[in-house]
Structure 1
Amino acid sequence: MDDLRERDQIETQYKWATEALFETNDAWEEEYKAIRKSVEEDPFASYRGHLHEGPERLLQYFQTAESLGERLGKLQIYAHILADQDTRTSFYQAMQSRIQMLGAEFAQKDSFFEPELLSLPVDQLDGYVHDEKLRDYQHVLDNLIRNKPHVLSDETEEALASLHDVLGSSGQVFSQLTNADFQHGAFTVDGKEYIVTEGRLGLLLRDTHRTVRKLAYEHVYDTYLHHKNAIGSLYANSVKADVRMARVRKFSTAREMALFSNHIPTTVYDALIKGVRDNIGHQHRYIELRRKVLSLDHVRLYDKYVPLAESSFDEYSFEQGFSLVQEGLRALGDEYQEILKKAVDDRWIDVFETPGKRSGAYSTGFYATRPYVLLNYQGNYNSVSTLAHELGHSAHTYLAGKTQLPQYSHYSIFLAEIASTVNETLLVNHLLDMTKDPLARATLINQQLDNLGATIYRQTMFAEFEQNAHRVVEEGQALTHDSLSEMYSTLNTFYHGSAYAEDERSTAEWSRIPHFYRAFYVYQYATGMSAALVFADRIRKQGESAAQKYLGFLRSGSKDYPLAVLNEAGLDMTDPQVVTQALTIFGQLVDELEELLTKVK
């Protein structure tokens, strides 16, 4: 901490402009009190029980909810970014806690809306959808009305709401068990002690000393295997809860229920798995290349993450890193360049690490604010890539907010990572264009392949595992730790090929994945990455016409369902060819890496 500058020592241009939201904390406090008074007086009292009275009343409800939601949103963003810029300051943490509680109270007062609306007769709802007064809310209403067959009686909905925490308890217990209770111990190699934690495992698995990797792996997985029966029961109960809730809500499968909220047909899930399985050979070749380069009989799970090539890159000042991002994204055109310039000029970005600042990086904001980007910029290439990533989210938020009506200015999780990944891909391609040194190129391509493989191949394998596990329960059979490990091992072997070897520990890898307690979520990482690779490839090869289609996607927000938004931009995610195109690029990178590694050995 001693080498970090305090926040008041950081130049203003490197700090985000909180004053654009509220000039002072006192101004925030004044607005907070005004909104609190409105919420306490119940802004929805005149609408509760009156939605049947006609389109005018419904329009008034929308306008009231939107106005208060916008004001609450500004309060939340301000408190959120202040709390993150210095997590040590109790005043900011209290500010964030207060607005979270007020937001929850607002949501509770507003909770009547969907059940009451969907209790109306079908012909009245259809009339609302097609009423000219509600034209700007047509898609909102259409999306809400889709839920009608799956909304139960008031009494049942109230009972299910009261059981929400209980139904999600498996994931909560898993988190407490693995994050708070598990201790993985330590080991010594060549006189150096290594303390093993969940957070350090990723770094230890990148160590060039195989014994270090192996022992770190064994320490963590032995802890999980020691608790195998408890973890097996937790996940089995989580799957059973998903299946039973799907039946209660009148869905044919748990997968259908999970995809329903984003209006994603199960054919998209199927297309992803088919596209990946049809192109598994590229992954097998990469694992075989890894086996050869590391001189192994077989690649083990603890050999998958060690770099095959390492070159030191230049250090970049923030200005140099930002300039590199600008150059890398030049193909997106002048409007996008203006947005990047605006991000610096209008101080969207909080650049440097300071004592107490939250770690990591993110982009936040919505249509009524500018985007706000948190960085902990270190001057290395990873920091530059992170800058490009977060500015992708920011540009998406900015363009959708500027183009769409407020109710359509957000975008779904299914689409969220596309914009950030397109930026990362364009940036690395630009750097490769500038880089002739074989070792530097090999390092960049190795990193890119590991990222793509971890996102497309690995997350699709996870998606297939989830599907298989839920199918077992839907067919009336039981899940155990052993049956889950056998199921996972079969997939692991297929996805990695003959150069890879399993052991008892690696078959239990599924038991470490917290995302499995949020069923049928991870497939979106793979679809998003696939879409981003295809977009970036088209922009690179086709130039302005492809860039304009892509910018149209960024402007679309949620004006339509996610698949329709992508279709308009030229991508059909129900067609396995999108994944095939993405993995063809993966295969080309494997070819080049293999050739480069022969030059640097």
Structure 2
Amino acid sequence: MSEKVKLRSEIDAKHQWRIHDIYASNEEFEKELERVKKEATVLVNYKDRLHEKESLLAYLKDYEKYTRIVEKLYVYAHMKNDEDTGNTKQQVIMSKIAQYVAEYSAMASYFVPELLSLSDETIKNYLEDEDLSGYRFYIESIVKEKPHVLSKEKEELLATLSDSLNAPDDIFSIFTNADMTFSDVEDGEGNMHPMTEGSYSNYIISKDRTLRENAFKELFGTYGKYKNSIGTMLSSNMKTFNLKAKLRNYEGPIEASLSPNNIPVEVYDNSLETISEGVGALHRYVDIKKRLLNLDEIHMYDLYVPIIDVPEEKISFDEGVKLALEGLKPMGEEYLSIFRSGVENGWIDIYENKGKRSGAYSSGAYDTEPYILLNYHDKLRDVSTLVHEMGHSIHSYYSRKHQPFIYGDYTLFVAEVASTTNEKLLIHHQIENETDPVKKLYLVNQELEQIRTTVFRQLMFAEFEKITHETIQKGTPMTGEDFSALWLDLNRKYFGEDIVIDKEIEVEWARIPHFYRDFYVYQYATGYAAASAFAESILKEGEEAVKRFIGFLSTGGSDYPVETLQTAGVDMTSKAPLEATIRRFNELLDMLEEYIQSR
């Protein structure tokens, strides 16, 4: 019998994040919101005055002052809402700040186009002015995008339309999370199980093959019923992004996504080329998995089931923290002390409660702690989630500690690097210190699955995005049928001839929310490759490598992400990091081959 999910009020305060440190109550939040609404209107006063250095400086200082407050308000509201998504009071609070964020953005939208309308001589003087030295990179990074910024009126119009332009994503989210329902699924013994998106992740790793197959067919069969509608949502989202890219004079949608962070399109293309060259390793994995599972034929619904049977041990949160600290020991005492401080000082909301948002994330603002939402269930994978999210939070901690507000955040391109480096160190520690050969192989398979799902799978997603966006860019419409046909072709390419490509998989694209955040997914793979390079150097070189890594964490947004990584010793413009990841994948497969031969 499953344990009853507790109410929020039943969760011990010591296991909850301390967001009352941001605002003690909703009333305090409301007062701050009303105050900032009145005071932030001062930003409008600087419009048409940025040619005066004093006005530019005053704008930058006021913008920082009020943006810091707006960020705190937003963080408080969304975290309180996530504590219990059924709490209507918090839904109202969240709605208020979301609406104001749109207003605030529109109010400040004149800044970039007006700055770019200034003469080259004025900009040059600003970049050389000592009083503006703290903003030099910020101004440079804006000026770099001058060919792609619209007039003030058009930028204001786009900012005002942002809510409407996000409609495909909003509709997809509501439809798949609130309206779509699934029928119960039967296991091999005739028992029925409730089917949800959340429960599917448990069923697909079950040793009960009947349950796996039925869950797979129910999930994708249901999505298949709506592939035309969801296809229209996705196609509309892509058309909107392509339209923005065209309006901003980019050569294409990939450049539009990568250019603001100075990431060469070659980084994206190199990733797809490298994975295509190494895709044989994934074919090899499928073959080995088929043999280890003793299957006559392997299906798509067999991919996630563990190939090694070990009893799942319960790991309490305190034991999980201890294991995490052991795994991260190569990072040094300073890093470990920050980790401990986060655990002890209310960064983490640890346990599930009724209505709490599922999953896990790291959040926070420049003036708050880097908070973490968990749903810890005493499993080994929860420890991995803990070190992953703590990687994000410690990255934020170092960035905010060492950088001014204007550079206190980091880009999406490097967002997964610190979290994945933590995971790599943890799994390495576990594999190296496990003496039971069966448990060791279980861990080997865990790392293989990390690489398969984070590198191969995400780059398959990235290839799907590239092809679909470029097709739409050429003026060729794409429907749910077109998306499905392409998805089948990509599955054949990535998984090879030894697997049965079940027809139901053709609609998997329809359940991927990341496709509504254009050209985001490839960064999981590049981030993993960069993290692998960092973890390898930390384990081999020790303190010097740790210094470079902490230097990377401390850079925040004060330089472009590719340059930041290069300074720390990782060159993402080359194929080397991803090639090294594929080599590691093959090394792990060798361990599985040895196990097969020794049986």
The alignment's TM-score, normalised by the length of structure 1, stands at: 0.91
1:150 aligns with 2:151: no
1:502/1:315 CA distance change after superposition, 3 Å: closer
- Stretch moving more, 526-535 or 350-359: 350-359
What is the CA–CA distance in structure 1 between the aligned matches of 2:38 and 2:569, rounded to whole Å?
48
* Structure 1 residues 162 and 441: CA distance shift in structure 2, 3 A: same
Conserved 8 A contact 2:109-2:156 = no
Q: Give me the CA root mean square deviation.
A: 2.7
Deviation at 1:127, TM superposition (A): 2.3
- TM superposition shift of 1:313: 4.4
- In 1, are the aligned partners of 2:462 and 2:519 still within 8 Å (CA)? yes
Residue 368 of structure 1 is matched in structure 2 by: 367
Looking at structure 1, the residues matched to 38 and 197 of structure 2 have their Cα atoms a distance apart, in angstroms, of 45
Quick check: 73-82 or 266-275, which moved more?
73-82
The answer to whether the Cα contact below 8 Å between 1:259 and 1:266 also exists between their aligned partners in 2 is: yes
Within a 5 Å distance, the mapping from 1:86-485 to structure 2 comes to 86-87=84-85, 89-161=87-159, 163-189=161-187, 190-485=189-484
- Structure 2 partner of 1:513: 512
| 1:61 pairs with one of 54, 59, 62 | 59
Instruction: Quote the Cα distance in structure 2 between the aligned partners of 1:376 and 1:227.
Output: 31
CA shift at 1:65, angstroms? 1.0
Q: Within 2, Cα distance between the matches of 1:14 and 1:203?
A: 25
- 1:449·1:586 contact (CA, 8 Å) conserved in 2? yes
Take 1:355 and 1:234, find their aligned partners in 2: how far apart are those partners?
31
1:165 CA displacement: 4.8
Further displaced range: 589-598 or 543-552: 589-598
Corresponding position: 1:38 with 2:39: yes
Name the CA shift for 1:321/1:230 in 2 (closer, same or farther; >3 Å): closer
Residue 469 of structure 1 contacts residue 479 of structure 1 at CA under 8 Å; is this kept in 2?
Answer: yes
Whichever residue aligns with residue 299 of structure 1, its letter is I
Q: 8 Å contact 1:351–1:374 — kept in the other structure?
A: yes
Cross-structure match for 2:588? 589
Q: CA deviation at 1:486?
A: 3.4
One of 78, 82, 86 as aligned partner of 1:84: 82
Which whole-Å deviations, capped at 9, do the CAs of 1:573-596 have from their partners, x for residues lacking one? 111111001111111112223334
Q: Distance in 1 between matches of 2:550 and 2:242?
A: 39
The superposition leaves residues 192-251 of structure 1 with CA deviations (integer Å, 9 ceiling, x where unpaired) of 124443333332222223232223222333333344444444444443443333222211
Unmatched tracts of structure 2, length 5 or more = none
- Cα-to-partner distance string for 1:513-545 (whole Å, 9 max, x where unaligned): 332233222111111111111211111122111
Q: CA deviation at 1:481?
A: 4.1
Partner of 2:17: 16
CA contact (8 A) 2:109 2:159 kept: no
Counting aligned pairs with the same residue, the percent is 38
Contact 1:366–1:401 under 8 Å retained in 2: no
Give SS of 1:347's match.
Answer: coil
Judge conservation of contact 1:363–1:391 (CA < 8 Å) in 2: yes
Q: 1:16 to 1:176 in 2, by over 3 A?
A: closer
Provide the rounded CA distance (Å) in 1 between the counterparts of 2:77 and 2:166.
28
| One-letter code aligned to 1:130 | E
Q: Distance in 2 between matches of 1:50 and 1:128?
A: 14
Task: Please report how far the alpha carbon of residue 311 of structure 1 lies from its aligned counterpart in structure 2 after TM superposition.
Answer: 1.5
Shift of 1:267: 0.6
Greater CA drift, 545-554 or 17-26 = 17-26
Aligned partner of 2:578 in structure 1 is 579
Cα distance in 1 between the residues matched to 2:476 and 2:454: 30
Contact 1:275 1:577 in 2 (8 A): no
Secondary structure, aligned partner of 1:221: helix
Q: 1:570 Cα deviation (Å)? A: 0.8
Q: Does structure 1 conserve the Cα–Cα contact (< 8 Å) formed by 2:106 and 2:160?
A: no
Give me the whole-angstrom Cα distance separating, in 2, the residues matched to 1:44 and 1:370: 27
3-state SS of paired residue (2:63): helix
Report the alpha carbon displacement of residue 156 of structure 1 after superposing the two structures with TM.
Answer: 3.8
1:25 to partner: Cα distance: 5.6
Equivalences, count:
597
In 2, Cα distance between equivalents of 1:545 and 1:202 = 40
**Could you tell me how far apart the structure 2 residues matched to 1:30 and 1:375 are?**
30
| Residue identity in the other structure for 2:196 | T
